[in-house]
Structure formats: C-alpha cells, structure tokens
Amino acid sequence: MPDRQGPARLVRAVFVLMLAAISGCTVAGGPAPDGPIASTAPADPCPGANRDGGAPPARREFTAAGTTSTYQVWTGGRSDRKPAGVVVALHGDGIEERSGEGGLNACLAAIAASSGRLLVVPQTPDTDQNPTWWEDLETNRAWLVALVAEHLPEEYEIDPADVWWTGYSGGAEMLSYGLLASSPEVVSGGALMIGGGGAEEVQPEHVTAKGVQLRLRWVVGDRDDGGPGSDDGFDALSAAREGVECYQRAGYRNVDLRVLPHRDHFDVPQAQMVHEWLDG
C-alpha cells in the first residue's frame, strides 16, 4: 500500500494557479532512470491538439457496490457512434490541480480529442476534506473498475482495446498500487504516472502476456524528492524509481522513467507529458 503519511495537506491556492497556467515541456532523449533529461518549455500547453475540446460536461453520478462518486466525459464534440478510445485521468490529493474551468481538464480533453479519444475524469469516492484515491485504495479501485469496464461501455461506444490511464500524485499511486497491480485488464493501452507511482510487488496472477506489453511511463521532477518542492514530504522521485523497478522485475517490457530537471511536485507540465506519451 502507498506510504504517504504526514500532516494534513493545506489548500495551496498558489499552486492551483500555477498548475492551471502551466506551459508545456518538450522532453528529449530516452529513458533516464538515474538522472534528469533535457527539456524545454514551449508556449502552447496543448501542442498539436484541437483546443476546442467541448464545453465542460456536467458531472454524472455512478454507484457500484454501495460506493458512489461522480465523473465527467469530455467527448471533444464527437457526434458519430463509432467506437472511440478513452483516456482516463485521475486527479491528485485534494483535486487541487483540476480547479477552474478551461484549465487542465480542458487541455487534456483537447489532447485526447486530437487522437480521436474521449477523456474521462472520475472523482474519488473519498468524501474526506482532502479526498484521495489511495487511502481507501481497494474500495476506490473497485469503483473505478466498475465505472470503466461496466458502466461507461453501456453509455458510450468505447473501444476496449484503446483504454489509457494517467494519474497525478495520488492518482499515480492508485494506478501503480491499485489498477496495474490488481486490475490490469482495464488498462489496454498503457498508464502514465506523474509525480508518484510507487510499487512494492505485483502478484504473478496479475501478470499476463498482454499486460507486460503495456506502455508504462513514470514522469517526475528531480526536485520532487521529499524536500521543499514535494507534497508534505512525499518523495515522489524515489516512489517513481521504485515503481519502475517493481514493474520491470515483474516482466513488463515497455517501462521508462523520465526525470525532469529543475521541476518539483507542483510544476511538472502534465498536459505536455500526456501529449508526448499518447503521441509516442
């Protein structure tokens, strides 16, 4: 289970503004497990994407096994009924980085739409003042699996062979400790862990011939090491390295780690990283 204990997280309004206004970052080079890789920062946070991802959709409620939460589906203006791929984006602790309309979600929706995919943005069922995915990981994982594997296919024409996941901070922990470790069948394309994604062990029964082909990528800032640039002392850099090593040991073949220089937990350019990964 994730180890992210620490004092209660305070709302960081300044970081909400930073994350809503983040510009992208182009990464050069291949995997860099032991050090930062070069990067630059273009002006457009939605490179290569149609910016018209559609108006912010209403949140819809979904209940599974007595657990209830909400989700949004950004269709990118699609009107046809052809099966579409899906990008599922998991927020971080407190949902701070997704505050405000026209911010990160709209950008991710435009990026997903540019590749013909829908964007699904679930909200954790956690009702605590600082909601997380990982504190009640098994309950939240089961709700996510039911949402994506059972409910969404009934509501939308979804291509089950084209389902991609991305998670930031606590969302990355849900992916690495929860979905990839116990429910890899709902991840058919790959998973992108940003600012976290530790792992201890993947049980052999959850390692499949198809699963080891998934594209798994970890992205973390070199200053996100438990110091001043971290979230309540959470060492996301070490967590990412542990996650990479764990899945490599389990036999996953398409695993890489990108360490971004001069970046901390709050200024990793999420939209750019998602764009590069999907474009990959």
CATH number, domain of 98, equals 3.40.50.1820
6 part of a folded domain: no
- Whether the per-residue pLDDT at 63 is higher than 70: the answer is yes
58-67, 79-88, 121-130, 152-161 — which is least confidently predicted? Answer: 79-88
Alpha helix ranges (H) inside the chain: 13-20, 104-114, 137-146, 152-155, 170-173, 180-182, 236-249, 270-279
Pick left, alpha or beta for residue 95 (phi over 0 → left; psi -120 to 50 → alpha; otherwise beta): left
pLDDT of residue 78: 73
185 part of a folded domain: yes
- Whether the per-residue pLDDT at 58 is higher than 50: the answer is yes
250 part of a folded domain: yes
pLDDT of residue 128: 87
Confidence of residue 95 (pLDDT cuts 50, 70, 90): confident
Query: What does the block give as tokens for 175?
Result: 């992916």
Q: How many domains is the chain partitioned into structurally?
A: 1
Residue 106: count other Cβ atoms within 10 Å of its Cβ.
Answer: 22
- Whether the per-residue pLDDT at 34 is higher than 50: the answer is no
Whole-prediction pTM value?
0.84
80 part of a folded domain: yes
7 part of a folded domain: no
5-14, 40-49, 137-146, 147-156 — which is least confidently predicted? Answer: 5-14
Confidence of residue 46 (pLDDT cuts 50, 70, 90): low
User: Contact at 8 Å (CB) between 54 and 107?
Assistant: no
Query: What does the block give as tokens for 248?
Result: 């490599």
d(CA 280, CA 236): 24
pLDDT of residue 10: 35
Report the mean per-residue pLDDT for the chain.
83
8 part of a folded domain: no
Domain residues for the domain of 188 are: 13-279
User: Contact at 8 Å (CB) between 115 and 278?
Assistant: yes
- Whether the per-residue pLDDT at 240 is higher than 90: the answer is yes
1 part of a folded domain: no
User: Contact at 8 Å (CB) between 73 and 119?
Assistant: yes
- Whether the per-residue pLDDT at 150 is higher than 50: the answer is yes
User: Contact at 8 Å (CB) between 243 and 199?
Assistant: yes
pLDDT of residue 189: 96
Average pLDDT for 224-253: 96
pLDDT of residue 68: 98
d(CA 40, CA 62): 41
pLDDT of residue 99: 54
5 part of a folded domain: no
- Whether the per-residue pLDDT at 94 is higher than 90: the answer is no
Confidence of residue 180 (pLDDT cuts 50, 70, 90): very high
